[in-house]
Structure 1
Amino acid sequence: MSYDIADPDLAGQGRARIEWADRSMPVLRQIRERFARLRPFAGLRMAACLHVTTETANLVRTLAAGGAQVALCASNPLSTQDDTAAALVREYGISVYARNGVSRAEYYRHIEQALQIRPDFVFDDGCDLVNTLHMARRDLLATVKGGCEETTTGVLRLRQMAADGALEFPVVAVNDTDTKHMFDNRYGTGQSTLDALFRATNTLLAGKTVVVAGYGYCGKGLAERARGMGARVVVTEIDPTKALDAVMQGYQVMPMAEAAPLGDVFLTATGNRDVLRREHFERMKDGAILANSGHFDVEIDVRALERLAVAVNRQVRPHCDEYVLPDGRRLVLLVEGRLVNLGAAEGHPGAVMDMSFADQALTAAWLVRHHDSLAPGVYEVPAEIDEEVARLKLASMGVAIDRLTSEQEEYLTSWRSGS
């Protein structure tokens, strides 16, 4: 087993935190016990490029329990929990290539190291591993039978690859299943982003104006939680339907150029680049806080901010860089514009990642059974997996729901019954 981690001696601390997260992940734990009995991945090699956190560790443990040989690298240079990486290596025997704060070159070197396993299946969070396979390691494509993608940004990239005829194997868009995006994206991103904001800045949201860029599921979660903390929330959007939804939820909706001078806190969650750029920085008030909850560090145009600033006060607080503009105004950028909820906090709570990673695990087992019948392309998670995860989660929470009677089932499946 090979690995590249920061400090193997952190393994004991990491194991304790992994086990703590596992307490909040009963659905994944049930699946892990099932996989340990059935061994659906026996003899298979899996490469995963995911956030190396305690919750991810429990997914990797589940794949390994099913018989897989797993190699894990990080999907973000700042999200790795070094104690978690150490525990995966020392306590669970997983090959991990991840250290917090690595350079861009080291980040891609770790992806290359994870691919040395010559994977049969891949797991990605942002499409960097899949992109590396297609751009730099095409010699490995022949062995890859399929993959899963965890996040909105990655799915967007994969669909474009498929549209261009470039994608060489089937990939399941786990992000798009209801038990993932309705909960992970909305409740997970909402809570973990504000958690990161509070840890980094200790700011009070009550009475402040929070500008949320993007009103997809992540943006909905950000807006809901900020409003719940007493903030005035402004939403910016390019999609008229989503903008209309935000208006009818009671939020102010306007272009970013109009929101720029109003906001005390700016949170981006669009999956696109340059959402906050020079023309907006020039209009922002002194002390405005800028944070990104999109996967890649392109939503805030940091280079434009650097060119505009006359001075940069690094680490005025942990994870906070202060950019001083020519007129003396100061803008505070969190975690270099990278994914704030994992750079300044611990990411989503285990209870919500329980569903996302249950989707991943069950989809992996489905892919193993069905990959031979799938052409290269992007696929949805089968509906029965989504429903199983939801039912298991409800059961773990002690919640029961109704079932259709035979008469109701007949009514729903027959066109002969009138009103």
Structure 2
Amino acid sequence: MESFERARLDTYFSKIASRFRPDEPPVSFLITHLLPERPSFVRAVATASSLRAVLPKPKSVSPTAKREAERIAPCDPLSRETFADPDQAVEYVESRAAGERVVLLDVGGYFAPTLSALAEHFSGTILGVVEDTENGHKRYAELDKLPCPVVSVARSPLKDPEDYLVGQSVVFSTEALMRERGDILHGRPALVIGFGKLGSSIARLLHAKGVQVTVHDIDPIRRTQALSQGFTVARDRDRALHNAGLVLCATGSLSLRAEDFSTLRNGAYVATVTSSEDELDLDGIPSVYQRARDTDHITRYQTTGHYFYLLNGGNAVNFLHGASVGPFIFLVQAEILAALHMLTRGNLAAGMHDVPAVDRAAIADAWLTAFNR
């Protein structure tokens, strides 16, 4: 990022921080993709709260960004196991923030499995959670009873530009990897599993590139939406898998079970928009399949009479090329700061919440002033 771009971004976040600065800043823990532009957001979080730890998503860490983030707050390792065990989760938060008022800034529902234990046994107070993704939104919404408020920005209209551009970046990275092997998108039927914001963006871009696209989604409403937009909707999931030369998984949950991989046609490519632990049951693939690195980011799975290719180890393929969505990501980051401010006031009931429309409008106005040049 050029110096003038950094100055513009810092001015933008300064304006956002002045509007949403808490009277009594809480302690925060920040889970984030630590991409090259992310340190500016980390600094903004540290301005709005006492940032005790950054927990980078393990498959999306820029070494330069990590070094810069470490000058702001400690960077701790993150995995699903970190917050899967209640005792371990409480011990970790205690080690960084004993007795404090804490806001958890999440990307993907990492805190969900042990949120009740944290709310009950932590020596301080869990003011609430801010969740950034649809996958994480679902993880919190599916809990039997939320012990604290969760402010979700996953379905905010300010996130629509990001979701659209992420879909574009997924298609770009998928095609770039295929070209490393001398393959192209054209002439290769595609199956998009999941027709939410990301899946629909991917499907539209593939279609615009002249690719034959079939959609599968468990939600009948989304299937009707796909039909209305001119896509073929799979009547038989197994047949759709067998016919596809490219499978793009965009559900945020389990898209391909272990037994599905043997259904793939020979030479099919598989790519995802999120981590392999969410989308793919790779551990269940039969041991008769031999795994071999075909290129730096393509793994060939082969057994007698059958083979397919997995892109980026099953992790989000777009992170190989920076997952860049330009300045539109700063809309969502500003809304996260607004959500943090909401939780700091302490007047929200346990349950799911949205940032008010008036605050979203103020963020959009500040963003347009800074970046619509």
Alignment TM class, shorter chain as reference: 0.7 to 0.9
Match for residue 178 of structure 1?
Answer: 157
The reply on whether 1:353 has 2:335 as its aligned counterpart is no
Q: Give the corresponding residue for 1:331.
A: 308
Percentage identity across paired residues of the two chains: 24
Q: What CA distance in whole angstroms lies between the structure 2 residues aligned with 1:204 and 1:22?
A: 37
Q: Write the distance in 2 (CA, Å) between the matches of 1:110 and 1:350.
A: 34
Partner of residue 279, structure 2: 299
Q: Secondary structure, in 3 states, of the residue corresponding to 2:42? A: helix
SS in 2 for 1:206: coil
Return the TM-score normalized by structure 2: 0.85
- 2-side partners of 1:137 and 1:326: how far apart? 52
Cα deviation code 1:271-329 (max 9, x no counterpart): 232x2235532332221111111456232221233x1643111x3212221100221x3
CA distance in 1, matches of 2:187, 2:90: 44
The equivalent residue for 2:172 is 195
1:310 to 277, 280, 289: 289
1:375 to 346, 349, 359: 349
Q: Which residue of 2 aligns with 1:89?
A: 70
Label 1:301 to 1:66 Cα distance change in 2 as closer, same or farther (>3 A).
closer
**1:386 is the counterpart of 2:365:** no
| Letter of the 2:361 counterpart | E
- Please name the residue that 2:12 is paired with: 30
Query: Could you say which residue in structure 1 is the equivalent of 2:339?
Result: 363
Supply the AA of the counterpart residue of 2:303.
L
| CA 349–243 in structure 1, closer or farther in 2 if over 3 Å, else same | same
Tell me the CA shift for residue 126 of structure 1: 1.2
Aligned ranges for residues 8-407 of structure 1 at < 5 Å? Answer: 22=6, 26=9, 29-35=11-17, 39-40=21-22, 43-66=25-48, 68-74=50-56, 76-90=57-71, 93-98=72-77, 116-118=95-97, 120-135=102-117, 138-140=120-122, 142-161=124-143, 164-165=144-145, 167-180=146-159, 182-185=160-163, 187-202=164-179, 203-254=183-234, 255-273=236-254, 275-294=255-274, 297-305=277-285, 307=286, 309-313=288-292, 315-327=293-305, 329-342=306-319, 344-369=320-345, 371=346, 373-396=347-370, 398=372
**Deviations 1:49-83 (CA, angstroms, capped at 9, x unpaired):** 22222343222111223353341102x32122222
Larger strand proportion, structure 1 or 2?
2
**Residues 278, 308 of structure 1: 8 Å contact kept:** no
CA contact (8 A) 1:41 1:67 kept: no
> Kindly tell me: are residues 35 and 193 of structure 1, through their superposed partners in 2, closer, same or farther at Cα, counting changes over 3 Å?
same
> Which secondary structure state, in structure 1, belongs to the residue aligned with residue 59 of structure 2?
coil
Range with bigger deviation, 222-231 or 41-50: 41-50
Q: Which structure has the larger Rg? A: 1
What is the distance in 2 between the residues matched to 1:208 and 1:20? 43
**Deviating more after overlay: 316-325 vs 290-299:** 290-299
Whether the 8 Å CA contact 1:41–1:66 is kept in 2: the answer is: no
| Residue 331 to residue 298, structure 1, CA distance change in 2 (3 Å) | same
Change (3 A) 1:136 1:365: closer
Query: What is the distance in 1 between the residues matched to 2:89 and 2:116?
Result: 16
Q: Which structure 2 segments of 5+ residues have no match? A: none
| Deviation (angstroms), 1:169 | 1.3
Query: Shift in Å at residue 150 of structure 1?
Result: 0.5
Distance 1:392 1:205, change over 3 A: farther
Q: Could you say if the C-alpha distance between residues 324 and 397 of structure 1 is closer, same or farther in structure 2, counting changes exceeding 3 Å?
A: same
Distance in structure 2 (CA, Å) of the matches to 1:147 and 1:52? 19
- Uncovered stretches (5+) of structure 1, i.e. residues with no partner: 1-15, 400-419
Q: Would you say the 8 A contact 2:20–2:338 is kept in 1?
A: no
Q: Cα–Cα, structure 1 residues 117 and 194, in superposed 2: closer, same or farther, change >3 Å? A: same
| Cα 1:97/1:355, change in 2 over 3 Å | same
**8 Å Cα contact 2:30/2:54 also seen in 1:** yes
Name the SS of the counterpart of 1:388 in structure 2.
Answer: helix
Is this contact kept in 2: 1:144–1:169, CA < 8 A? yes
Cα distance, 1:332 vs structure 2: 0.9
1:387 shift after superposition: 2.2
Aligned positions, number: 363
Closer, same or farther in 2 for the Cα pair 1:34/1:251, shift >3 Å? closer
Task: Give the TM-score of the pair, scaled to structure 1.
Answer: 0.77
Alignment RMSD (CA, Å): 3.1
Partner of 1:402: none
